[in-house]
Amino acid sequence: MFRKMIAREAKIAFWCLLPAVAFLMVFMFYPIFYVILMSFFKTNRLGNLVSYTGLGNYRFLFRRPEFWTIILRSCVWTALAVAVKTAFGLVIALSLNTDFWGRKVARSLVVIPWASSVPISAMLWQWTYNNDFGLLNHTLKTLGIWKNPPVWLAYPKPAFFANLWVDIWCGIPFMALVFLAGLQAIPTELYEAADIDGASSFAKFRFVTLPLLSGVLTVATLLSTLWTFNDFNVIYILTKGGPANSTDILITYIYKYAFQYLRFGPAASMAVITFIILLAVSIIYARAYFRERS
Amino acid sequence: MKAVVSRGKYFIYPIVVFLLLILLFPFFVMVSTAFKPLEEVYANPPHWIPREVRLQNFVDIWSKYPLGAYFRNSFIIAAGTTLLNMALCIPAAYAAARINFRSKSLVMYLFLVVQMFSPVIVIISLFKIISSLGLLDNLFALVLTNGVFTLAFSIWLLSGYFRSIPKEIEEASLIDGCSRLQSVVRVLLPVAMPGLVTTIIYTFITAWNEFMFALTFITSMEKRPLTLGLYNFIGRWTVQWHYLMAAALLALLPVVFLFLFIEKELVQGLAGGAIKG
């Protein structure tokens, strides 16, 4: 009887999950399977499979020096962006965790860049970066912060950092909010105990805050790594990967190969490589997540 | 100890103000440009504050560009995605929260991992699927694809919320003679309303802000959602930056407003267990 009930329950669970899982199967797992398949085929300009080439597409990619440049750039892009987002987020969270007048307003204002959509934010920045009429360089010059700021989006190096900054800027609020939530979960007694022991502010940060924040730090940086690596909108809207592919990362390059050059085969094999990288990081993330919960 | 806290208070202001200036600068640029007349937009050196406030910009963008159509399309896509997502995620989240079955943690693990993938990986195949379904240049394509990429997180968010509600309230209604479905619809869902609202707003905003699927699947002018429509201000016409900024302001306001409601739940849902400890 009890057994039967469990079986009945399992049946209900099955029917409840079926629509969602079926939907994901058709529009997520099948596409992943198909892109893997496609990566082993020659394709025509419509993306139809023409003939099996084995590792041909992969070999084609690996022989191109710019492919390695782009892999390297994707890694540098992700590492720099995540590091700066984390640092900024931590500073904001620590500031907002102290009690001051107007803290609530400050907190809501911090959220705004996260709430505004990335595509629109990128467009705002594009205008802000404008060399002749944009307010960024004007402000930097007028306030004497930077006498000769670069023409941001016109040359490879400045364009890379301009893109990077917009990605960072979009990601700061999330980091700040997660860290803030993490900080608020730390019991105040611990700080009081540290005070009684005569600990300095730095010692409190090092021996109370950091260890207790480490779970949140791990999960947030992993999640941010995935998002940063995946960032398509900022680069596509600001520079489309230009000038001369100098700001492309793997994600934008895949898109360009498929929908601009119409070379679906190599694009698919790049997608597979990206998929493997993301899968590895996702599994690490999921593990960290489940470990934190239990 | 009190003294330490209040001493800390004073040097916190310059730090917070500095950080906020950095974070809000482009919004300041947006608002300032949105109200400038054309001559002032192209003034060199540029002015921080418009010398003449031009409200006419907002009237112009509505009459000169199909902004109304963009808004309508975005709304259709976002509402459609939300409906689809809710229909799929409520039962799934219920099962995940209330029923123990074999391989449950595997399924949840899978959802979590799915949530991490970039749409770019599958867009090549999705393009083929969407075109073979005859849905290219159709808003329904965006409903489907946005639905896929919001579903996993919605299930996580909602099942977390369901789990925080004591089982006993449904059990009481079962004893009172409700069927299982009735107990969910009449008891659980009303109690879970805040969680439902969060999931709905999250899905709506994500679909409203989406750009890449629209870029790939939509070709005709009158079917563009806002993000794509605004993007095409750049390039298609010589960019009328004051118009673009005015339109961006209109596009952002409702979303930012909605977002502030659910920000706390989103943070908790995304970083999840790590925060609750």
Question: What would the pLDDT profile of A206-258 be if each residue is shown by its tens digit?
Answer: 899 999 898 889 889 988 999 999 999 999 999 998 898 899 999 999 999 99
Residue appearing with tokens 């000169």: B64
**Interchain contact B41–A (C-beta under 8 A):** yes
Q: Is the peptide bond before B26 cis (omega within 30 degrees of 0)?
A: no
A289 contacts on B by Cβ (under 8 Å): 112, 272-274
Say what the pTM is.
0.92
Q: Based on the domain organization, do B20 and B133 belong to the same domain?
A: no
How far is A276 from chain B, CA to nearest CA, in Å? 10
**Interchain contact B11–A (C-beta under 8 A):** no
Query: Over 80: is that where the pLDDT of A294 sits?
Result: no
Section B218-236 average pLDDT: 87
Q: Based on the domain organization, do B29 and B127 belong to the same domain?
A: no
Helix (H, G, I), strand (E, B) or coil at B100: coil
**Interchain contact B100–A (C-beta under 8 A):** yes
Q: Is the peptide bond before A243 cis (omega within 30 degrees of 0)?
A: yes
Task: Summarize pLDDT for A65-93 with one digit per residue, the tens.
Answer: 999 999 999 999 999 999 999 999 999 99
Q: Based on the domain organization, do B90 and B203 belong to the same domain?
A: yes
Q: Based on the domain organization, do B40 and B80 belong to the same domain?
A: no
Section A19-45 average pLDDT: 94
More confident residue, B182 or A2: B182
A127 contacts on B by Cβ (under 8 Å): 29-30, 33, 241, 244-245
Query: Over 80: is that where the pLDDT of B5 sits?
Result: no
Residues 242-261 of B with CB under 8 A from A: 244-245, 248, 251-252, 255-256, 259-260
- Supply the range of the domain harboring residue B89: 65-276
Residue appearing with tokens 């391989």: B103
Question: Do residue A127 and residue B148 have CB atoms under 8 angstroms apart?
Answer: no
CATH number for B138: 1.10.3720.10
Q: Of B250, B244, B24, which is closest to residue A133 (Cα–Cα)?
A: B244
Q: Based on the domain organization, do B209 and B169 belong to the same domain?
A: yes
Chains A, B: CB pairs < 8 Å: 308
Query: Over 50: is that where the pLDDT of B277 sits?
Result: no
Cα–Cα distance, B145 to B137 (Å, whole number)? 13
Q: Of B252, B248, B253, B243, which is closest to residue B58 (Cα–Cα)?
A: B243
Task: Summarize pLDDT for A254-266 with one digit per residue, the tens.
Answer: 999 999 999 999 9
Predicted confidence band of residue B3 (pLDDT cuts 50, 70, 90): very low
Q: Based on the domain organization, do B233 and B258 belong to the same domain?
A: yes
Q: Based on the domain organization, do B28 and B110 belong to the same domain?
A: no
Considering all CA atoms of chain A, what is the largest pairwise distance in Å, rounded to the nearest integer?
81
Among B43, B64, B85, the domain-final residue is: B64
Q: Which residues are within 8 A (CB) of A190 and not within 5 positions of it... i.e. 6 or more apart?
A: A208, A212
Q: State residue B4's pLDDT score.
A: 46
Among B64, B87, B115, the domain-final residue is: B64
Q: State residue B273's pLDDT score.
A: 58
Q: State residue A2's pLDDT score.
A: 65
Section B252-260 average pLDDT: 91
Q: Based on the domain organization, do B212 and B123 belong to the same domain?
A: yes
Q: Which residues are within 8 A (CB) of A12 and not within 5 positions of it... i.e. 6 or more apart?
A: B95, B99, B180
Query: Over 70: is that where the pLDDT of B274 sits?
Result: no
In total, how many domains does chain B have? 2
Q: Based on the domain organization, do B9 and B128 belong to the same domain?
A: no
Section B134-145 average pLDDT: 97
Cα–Cα distance, A31 to A34 (Å, whole number)? 5
Q: Write out the H or E segment, with its range, that includes residue B171.
A: helix B168-175
Q: Based on the domain organization, do B16 and B71 belong to the same domain?
A: no
Q: Based on the domain organization, do B198 and B117 belong to the same domain?
A: yes
Q: What is the DSSP letter of B120?
A: H
Q: Based on the domain organization, do B210 and B111 belong to the same domain?
A: yes
- The ipTM, to two decimals, is 0.91
Helix (H, G, I), strand (E, B) or coil at A49: strand
The phi and psi torsions of B234 (rounded to 5 degrees) equal -80, 120
Q: Which residues are within 8 A (CB) of B77 and not within 5 positions of it... i.e. 6 or more apart?
A: B139, B142, B143, B146, B207, B208, B210, B225
Residues 65-84 of B with CB under 8 A from A: none
Cα–Cα distance, A54 to A40 (Å, whole number)? 5
Q: State residue B178's pLDDT score.
A: 87
Share of chain A above pLDDT 70, in %: 98
Among B64, B95, B117, the domain-final residue is: B64
